[in-house]
Amino acid sequence: MGYKQHEWMREVLQVFSAMVENCAEPCLQVPSRLLEEADILSLSLAKIPGKIDLLEFKAVMLASLRSLLPKTWNSECEVAWTWLWENIQKMLKANLGKPPVQQKALRKFFMSIEDEQLAAYRTSLYTTFFGKCAQGQDYFKQSSTRLHFIADRMLMYTQDVFKDPKDVMESLSALGLRHVGYGIPTELFGPFVSSAIECFRGMTKDEQQEEAFRWSLNLISRVLVRTITEGSTLVMRAINANCAKMLRKAVSCAPRGLRAEWMLKVQVGTQSISPLLWSIQSGSLEAAQAILVDLLTIRADRDHYYYAMDALFNRHPDIVRRIGEDGPELLPTLLDGLIWRSRNTSNATRRVNFFIKYLVVDPKNGFSQSFRDVVAHGSPSIACHPSVVLAADILWSNVVAYTFLKSKLWFLLNLVVFVVTMAILTDYSDTASSASLLGMFIGRTFMYVFGLGQLVTRHFFRIFRACRNKEIARYYCFPIPSYLIHFSESLSMLLCLSLGVMLCQEPVVHCLGMHTLSDAQFAQFGGQCAEAAALIPSYSSFAFLATLVYFLLLLDLTVFSTKLSTFVLVCGRMVQEVAQYLFALSFVVLTFACGLASSDVANEHFSEILPAMLSLSRIMLGMFSSEEFQYLEEEPKLLLSVSIFVICTTIFLLNLLIAQLNCAYLGIFKDMLGYARLNRGSVILDNIPHVSQKRWKAFVDSLKMDEKLEFSEGDIGIAGGLQVLEPASANPVTTDSIKRYGGSTSPDCQWPETATDLDSEDKIDRLEKIIDKAVKKIIKGTKANKGSSGSSNSQLAGTSSSLGESMNE
């Protein structure tokens, strides 16, 4: 039949299955869906050049069916399939040849229209729509600019549907699913479309343009209405209402094997939407929390355990990031659902299963993106959650600690060489031993060539990469590479600069060649010569600065101990309070120094500003001698001023500092452990890329995450976690968190409702109904027996007793 030469047949085959399925559906909307598929197919066929003979497809179709179904094919099948294709052919023939003409007409209209006319159309569209359907004002509550944007998108779709019908249908399906989340009633589409056509009619007198606009807009509205109708599941309706009770009732209708899918995926055509993700993004956090609790609840029958952790993380690998951005209060719910604790204890311990597979590895056994998202979230309380703590400790102790220590060995070697050559081998004189001079020369050569050389190379390439990628941050008004914002990187840069200045002022370098061969052995490696004498003071100052930086960088090793890391972080936070105290102290010292220098005091220690500042500082630090205090008694004005200064600094400011440190410590200590764990998490993220694939694979295999964990002796449960024992008194558990059900074990059956499934809301509803029923009985009895108070009292007592019995149930 020359099938390969007929491209239009490919287009028909792509949608033929959908046409057949919708035609066979016993539903009132089948003709509308079949007509919709036929209209979309006519748009696709219009893009294919050449002659289209629909009778050829009929012959091919019937011949194929006869050959594929030789035993079941009969005359009834022949009649049915012939009838089907004749109806499809009739629908297609009604539109064949029209789309190119309609596209040309619409293009001509939009090319000739002015901006003022478009603005008037947008305004009149909503005025007409609100006049026809006042209910629409409750849903179109955005600003006028947003409404105008919606109108422009509608006009754009009417043109694009002719240009690229397949992409537009995909886009419309996605848009329709978003409208499901918005809770838009489909009844609004009719008035909106009619209003759009009516306003369009007022802008053109060309009937062909009007017909093209009407046909394309009707097709668009039918696609959207169908998508919303198919996507408006019970779960989505509960999310729109943000009602946890409605959501629990909605998912109770789901087969146990599809329960998780109902909450994670709504599929319409090739497009899908996640009810969980939509509830988080739309702010329906009550419904989102109910979904998370339901997904991470372990249910069991005699044959299977049902736990949707795998389904959740496979559907949304970035679920931690999404929740952290749009609903951070749901993160504890998510992480709590990854822990199961046994109700039974043995030897004062309790069995605990941590299902932290996706906090350690991703679905492809690579490093977990969820762990990265937890660290990036930066919440100290989340970092201290038991699930995150266990995942971080496993990664640290089994993989990262060795890699991190190996990366610090070179730094430790440089530190040892620096300390030996700068703090131990310090004798520059000619009387120093030859071994000392030679060791000092070799050590400093190593320090400058390897230590400084590595720092210069590292920072050069990082600065170059930051400039190339435009990763520039501003520190106050100064642009700096963004990586220097981190404290350790800033210290590393400071160390590089200090060592560079030391190299320029190195006495050994300046004294090379100043000694003769008759001098002692290795005397030429000494640093005592006239040229170096003037450089020694500044050289020693930078050596002191480099020593401080070296030891500050050594604090990175405190990550090995969480307690030490917490202490270092607390000290770092306290530095801010001390800095404020020093600023206030400097201000007070300067104030009193200027005041005393401007007065007529005769004491030489306070006659000028700088000596006065020095003397006041000595007084505050207790370094002022008793003999010097005696001179103050000779001038009462000076003595009074110094006394007031002591009261302000030693009594007031110092005690204020102590109070500030106490309050700040109490305020930040509860979070410091979390920040210490976040610091360790950052170190893990920095070092994971340096772990070899072989070592990572061995680590993942050692965890045995694919092996099922026991819930109790002989009860083999679910894979994807680690089992640990914790003290029985740490987290008391009185009820079994696994919901077990009897009856049928078929995955197609729903979970049976039990008495324990009635939550507090259900009990309150029952109580309200009982109270309403009791009040109605009281009112009815009062009207029937107005003169008989005893009858009313007895009826009230009976009602109260029945109410008490119902509440006891």
Which position has the token pair 């520190």? 475
User: Do 14 and 121 sit in the same domain of this protein?
Assistant: no
pLDDT tens figures, 381-393: 999 999 999 999 9
In a domain, 197, yes or no: yes
Token pair in block for residue 423: 């703090």
C-alpha 320/C-alpha 303 separation (Å) is: 31
Confidence (pLDDT) at 280: 93
Domain with residue 108: its CATH number is 1.10.490.10
C-alpha 67/C-alpha 64 separation (Å) is: 5
In a domain, 718, yes or no: no
User: Do 594 and 682 sit in the same domain of this protein?
Assistant: yes
C-alpha 304/C-alpha 312 separation (Å) is: 18
| 3-class SS letters over 718-734 | CCCCEEEEEECCCCCCC
Report yes or no on whether pTM surpasses 0.85. Answer: no
DSSP state of 255: B
Instruction: For residue 680, give every residue at least 6 positions away whose Cβ sits within 8 Å of its Cβ, in sequence order, or none.
Output: 392, 396, 559, 562, 565
Which position has the token pair 């056509």? 197
Token pair in block for residue 704: 């045995």
pLDDT tens figures, 479-503: 888 888 888 889 999 999 999 999 9
DSSP state of 399: I
Highest mean pLDDT among 2-11, 34-43, 247-256: 247-256
In a domain, 548, yes or no: yes
Indicate if the pLDDT at residue 223 is higher than 70.
yes
In a domain, 295, yes or no: no
Token pair in block for residue 385: 């959650």
Indicate if the pLDDT at residue 264 is higher than 90.
yes
User: Do 528 and 570 sit in the same domain of this protein?
Assistant: no
E-strand spans in 637-788? Answer: 710-712, 715-716, 722-727, 739-740
Instruction: For residue 197, give every residue at least 6 positions away whose Cβ sits within 8 Å of its Cβ, in sequence order, or none.
Output: 210, 213, 214, 217
Query: Structural domain of residue 657, as residue ranges?
Result: 563-687
> Is the distance from CB of 722 to CB of 737 less than 8 angstroms?
no
Total structural domains within the chain = 5
Boundary residue ending a domain (232, 263, 292):
232
**Mean pLDDT over residues 6-31, rounded?**
69
pLDDT tens figures, 359-368: 999 988 899 9
In a domain, 248, yes or no: no
Indicate if the pLDDT at residue 431 is higher than 70.
no
> Is the distance from CB of 340 to CB of 355 less than 8 angstroms?
yes
Burial label for 756, CB within 10 Å (0-12, 13-18, 19+), is exposed
CA 75 to chain centre: 61
pLDDT tens figures, 717-743: 899 999 999 998 888 888 888 998 888
Boundary residue ending a domain (687, 710, 734):
687
Boundary residue ending a domain (640, 660, 687):
687
Token pair in block for residue 82: 């012939």
Which is more confidently placed, 803 or 208? 208
User: Do 18 and 30 sit in the same domain of this protein?
Assistant: yes
Q: What angle do helix axes 234-241 and 285-295 make, rounded to 10 degrees?
A: 140
Confidence of residue 202 (pLDDT cuts 50, 70, 90): confident
Q: Which of 278, 274, 163, 161 is nearest to 222 (CA)?
A: 161
User: Do 602 and 679 sit in the same domain of this protein?
Assistant: yes
Domain with residue 584: its CATH number is 1.10.287
Q: Which of 806, 790, 72 is nearest to 81 (CA)?
A: 72
Runs of H (alpha helix) within 384-430: 386-395, 401-419
Instruction: For residue 78, give every residue at least 6 positions away whose Cβ sits within 8 Å of its Cβ, in sequence order, or none.
Output: 62
E-strand spans in 13-118? Answer: none
C-alpha 674/C-alpha 377 separation (Å) is: 12
Residues 540-543: contacts with CB under 8 Å, at least 24 apart: 542/498, 542/501, 542/502, 542/505, 543/422, 543/502
**Mean pLDDT over residues 150-157, rounded?**
91
